[in-house]
Amino acid sequence: IIENCLFGVDINPNSVKICRLRLWIELLKNAYYKNSTELETLPNIDINIKCGNSLVSRFAITADLKEALSKSKWTIDSYKTAVATYRNAENKEQKREMEQLIATIKNDFRSEIEKPFKKKLSEARGKVESLSQKILNLKSFGEKADKKLIEAHAAAVKLLDSLEKERDETESNKIFENAFEWRFEFPEVLNDEGDFVGFDVVIGNPPYFALSKIKEQSDYFSKANYVTYSKGADIYCLFYELGGNILKPFGLLTYITSNSWLRAIYGEPLKMYFVEKLQPIILINIEDIQVFEEATVESNIITLQKSNKSKPIKVVNLSKDYSIGNSLHEYFNKYSFEFIPLSNSEWFIGDQVAGKLKRKIEDGKKLLKDFNVRINFGIKTGFNEAFIINESKKNELIKADKKNAEIIKPIIRGRDLKKYFYEYQNLWVISTFPSLKIDIESFPAVKNHFLEIGKKRLE
């Protein structure tokens, strides 16, 4: 399984090294001695686990390799043979030779795929030069170019500028430095014609953070045909879509991610994608218990199948009556229920009793989602140590000057909000945000507090 069926990609080179080492140790545990002194040669499974940005590619998975193969001395079969030989190389020299051969094959494929674009660019440049020459020739005879010729020249220049901009962006954009080319990195999922067939199963724990935190990459994703992209989206939405794209028909995907897509506005395109392309089969929603000590977000584990046939999802809400370490399989069989998803609404995955209560509460009421309000994040001070204070410091500052009470306000953090209530921690925020246009010189005690904290930070 490790040698022939397991493949992985991660953007962090250290994660890749640890994964390779962990798999190699597993192989070593199951290795055997050929004789009393000689251990069998272990396969080079490092080629199965690769480093790269899996969300970024220069070439689409559907990019045609047929033309590249017809003009290349390599075939998909020779590529697969080279990879198999590398994996089972018996010495460093053979491994090095296969490494060079594989790099050559991939570079040839890359060059052949790029040729149509280069040809298009060359033709556009030739057309501009030809039309420019016609206009110059007319001028030399004292004649004016007609309207059609001028318009054709302008259109040709516009097309050339567009193609050159596309080329420059691809060549200079840092985002492509560690781009991962699914199109030909894993020959095991290519058929004999070079078509991308896909994986049977995709498993992952994608990162969770807002795309707004990586502006340069976010700009790329907005133009890269990700249908689950939106400005306020979380990056894991794109990983769901990528997972669906690299699956073969009726293949299965299982991820663990934040469950915020169930309620957030940015989850709407993702839910639409699920219903149309990647059918949810099983959903374990984790809200009321802390499964991971260091994680503060609520999670879900979801299994989806690459199919457009809609069917009910088996759902379970993992609650406090589940004890960590007990059989999740038994809990799921006992408490799961069926839910029929809709693409254009909030997925409320409570049981029938909870659903009835929810409808009763909402009936005839104006809901928060009905207001034209978008909240992407709460208060950002930039330096919580200085701006968020306890009650003792609050009292000290107000005692120094009663005026300070005007800018010291109680604060509730995200971690203080529970499902049906909040737990106030007696914390206060000094509200000197730029938008309030407060003159800090008018609050000397607060200014001194900032200076003291700043000095400690420097020290």
> Per-residue pLDDT for the chain (459 aa), expressed as one digit of tens each?
888 899 999 999 999 999 999 999 988 887 776 777 777 778 888 889 999 999 988 888 887 777 666 666 777 888 888 888 888 887 788 888 888 877 887 777 667 666 677 778 888 888 888 888 888 887 777 777 788 888 888 888 888 888 887 777 666 667 777 888 898 888 898 888 888 999 999 999 999 888 888 877 777 888 888 999 988 889 999 999 999 999 999 999 999 999 889 888 888 899 989 988 999 999 998 877 777 766 667 889 999 999 988 788 898 888 777 877 788 888 888 888 887 776 556 677 766 677 678 778 888 888 776 777 666 667 888 888 899 999 999 999 999 999 999 999 999 988 888 877 889 999 999 998 887 888 888 899 999 999 999 888 888
pLDDT of residue 42: 80
What does the pLDDT read at residue 336? 85
Q: Which residue has the tokens 């794109």?
A: 238
**Per-position b or e across 147-174, b if 16+ CB within 10 A of its CB:** eeeeebbeebeebbeebeeeeeeeeeee
Q: How far is CA 328 from the centre of its chain?
A: 28
Beta strands at 247-258 and 299-306: parallel, antiparallel or unpaired: antiparallel
> Would you report the helix, strand and coil content of the chain in percent, each value rounded to 5?
50, 15, 35
Tell me if 23 sits within 8 A of 43, measured CB to CB.
no
**How many residues in total does the chain contain?**
459
Distance CA 104, CA 184 (A): 12
Name the residue type at position 4: N
Exposed (0-12), middle (13-18) or buried (19+): which is 106, by Cβ within 10 Å? middle
φ, ψ of residue 38 to 5 degrees: the values are -105, 120
Contact 190, 75 (CB under 8 A): no
Quote the CA–CA distance of 153 and 243 in Å, as a whole number: 44
What are 422's two structure tokens? 């909040």
Instruction: Read off the tokens for 172.
Output: 């200079």
What's the 3-state SS for 21-87?
HHHHHHHHHCCCECCCCCECCCCCHHHHEEECECCCCCCCCCCCCHHHHHCCCCCHHHHHHHHHHHH
DSSP 8-state code for residue 234: B
- Which residue shows structure tokens 């047929």? 66
Would you tell me how many other CB atoms lie within 10 Å of the CB of residue 419?
7
Q: How far apart are the first and last CA of the chain?
A: 54
Secondary structure tally for the chain: helices H, strands E? 14, 11
Query: Whose structure tokens read 């169930």?
Result: 262
Residue 83 · residue 187 · CB < 8 Å: yes
In this structure, are strands 8-10 and 49-51 parallel, antiparallel, or unpaired? parallel
Question: Which pLDDT does position 127 carry in this prediction?
Answer: 87
Amino acid letter, 77: D
Q: Note the maximum CA span of the chain.
A: 95
Three-state DSSP state, 330:
helix
Report residue 135 as tokens: 């206009």
Integer-rounded Cα Rg, in Å, for the chain is 30
Residue 214 tokens, joined: 């990586």
pLDDT computed for residue 249 by the predictor: 94
Residue 204 and residue 222 in contact, taking contact as beta carbons nearer than 8 Å: no
User: What stretches of 143-287 adopt beta strand conformation (E)?
Assistant: 199-204, 247-258, 278-286
E strand or H helix at 300: strand 299-306
